[in-house]
Amino acid sequence: MTLFVTFPALAADKLVVAFGDSLMAGYQLKPGEGFAPRLEAALRRSGIPARVHNAGVSGDTTAQGTARLGWVLGGLKARPDLVIVELGANDMLRGLPNAQTRANLDAILAELKRRRIPAMVAGMQAAPNLGQAYAREFNAIHPALARKYQVPLYPFFLQGVATNKALLLKDGMHPNPRGVDVIVANILPSVRKALGR
């Protein structure tokens, strides 16, 4: 009996796909502590019935994200109401060419547009040790592509977390559970707006 009550509620849920790298995947966190489950809980608390699908893969570059996008979308049972694209950090950490990073992200957003799937860009900022020229180029990629595809931009996924050791794991790069909560609280208004709520 419970199953018949549950299915109609699920059918009405908004489907959000968190498409990114270890920052979204919940690197070294327990089940339920990562970005996707915490964002889902926050959306539900704010009155939006939503499912957030965790499509984050630790270590993914933009090239790897481009390669698996079709597989991820094909494995879903419904068309997403929103795909949050958070990629580029690993390209930056490896010092990969900015032109390559931009081309890959462009391809991801182009494919989402082709499929008429709403997207949102979650930006990243370059580490200062990579030099001013590289950082300037890298930091411009996400805003430029958001403008090109006329999709919402959340400027920096790690806003309020990146330089706060109390919100990071011991590696100083990935958010701990408290850090995830800060990320979710900061990005929630943008996600709600992107979902039309």
User: Quick check: is 53 catalytic?
Assistant: no
Nearest to 121 by CA among 137, 101, 135, 136: 101
Question: Pick from 55, 73, 51: which is nearest to 6 by CA?
Answer: 51
CA distances from 120 to 77, 86, 136 (A): 20, 9, 22
**Residue 155, CA atoms < 13 Å, CB-side half-sphere:** 4
Catalytic residue among 60, 81, 91, 174: 174
46 is catalytic: no
Rounded CA-CA distance 84/181 in Å is 17
Q: Can 142 be counted among the known catalytic residues?
A: no
* 10 CB neighbour count, 10 Å cutoff: 12
Instruction: Give the position of tokens 């339920």.
Output: 32
Active-site annotation holder among 13, 21, 22, 81 = 22
Q: Which entry of 60, 81, 171, 190 is annotated as an active-site residue?
A: 171
**Known catalytic residues?**
22, 171, 174
